[in-house]
Homo-oligomer: A and B are copies of this chain.
Amino acid sequence: MTESPEIPQTQTGGAKPKTAGRPRNEGVRRAILQAAYAILVEQGLADFTIEAVALKSGVARTTIYRWWPTKGVLAMESFLEAFRPQLAYVHTDNAAEDFRNLINSLVNTLSGPAGKIAASVVAEGQRDAETRRLFVEAFSEPLRQESTRLIRKGLEQGRFREDLDISLVLDAAVGAIYLRLLLCLPIDPTWSSSLSVTLLLGIERG
């Protein structure tokens, strides 16, 4: 099942706006997020300025400021927009297989453009605590919880070591990906499967 759980929305999520006045232009919102995404992917963090996003999206600078408090939050939201549909949390009755699939899916996604954005968001998070918090809450934690659930299943099935430190396994798995992402080291499918194999060596019951 593909799913994207508990991700907070910046935009008005639910029912009818109800409020008076001109309603928010959804096209403008998308244009901004896409421009942000494109700049981050094609040019990089250094060229990611509100000015540039405004120019590229053809939107007034003030409109961006109206909806996003900082660059980091904008980057984060454009990351989520692009990333959310891609990650697969599959649950079969083989936990090891599921774990492999999860890692592969994650690596697959992050080895593409989404990875560049993720790295940018993390970097921006070093300047701005709010961005960091958002990244952890809206992306890192949900991913972690879902993965934890998956590993627990393996434990219950008796396939995984019962003394396993789940949190640490996830640190190692995700950390390895971030490391290569941030240092611009190559990430290919070979590496990916090698990662799950190596990790499973320490995870699966001897």
Contact = CB atoms under 8 A, between A and B. Distances in A.
Interface of A: 44-46, 119-120, 122-129, 132, 135-136, 140, 161, 164-165, 168-169, 171-180, 182-184, 191, 194-195, 197-203, 206
Given A44-B126, A123-B127, A176 B171 contact: yes
A132 B172 contact: no
A136 B198 CA distance: 24
A80 to B, nearest CB: 16
A185 to B, nearest CB: 8
B171 A182 contact: no
Contact of A175 (B44, B122, B136, B179): B179
A179 B172 CA distance: 8
17 contacts: A44-B127, A120-B126, A122-B123, A122-B126, A122-B182, A122-B183, A129-B184, A135-B183, A140-B183, A161-B201, A165-B197, A169-B198, A172-B175, A172-B199, A178-B179, A179-B179, A199-B202
Nearest to A174: B179
Nearest to A164: B198
A107 to B, nearest CB: 12
A174 B172 CA distance: 8
B165 A198 contact: yes
Contacts of A201: 161, 201-203
Given A132-B184, A172-B198, A201-B203, 9 more contacts: A44-B127, A45-B126, A45-B127, A123-B127, A135-B183, A171-B195, A172-B195, A175-B180, A199-B202
A73 B194 CA distance: 34
A35 B98 CA distance: 49
A165 B180 CA distance: 15
Given A122-B182, A123-B122, A128 B198 contact: no
A25 to B, nearest CB: 18
A184 B171 CA distance: 13
A161 B200 CA distance: 14
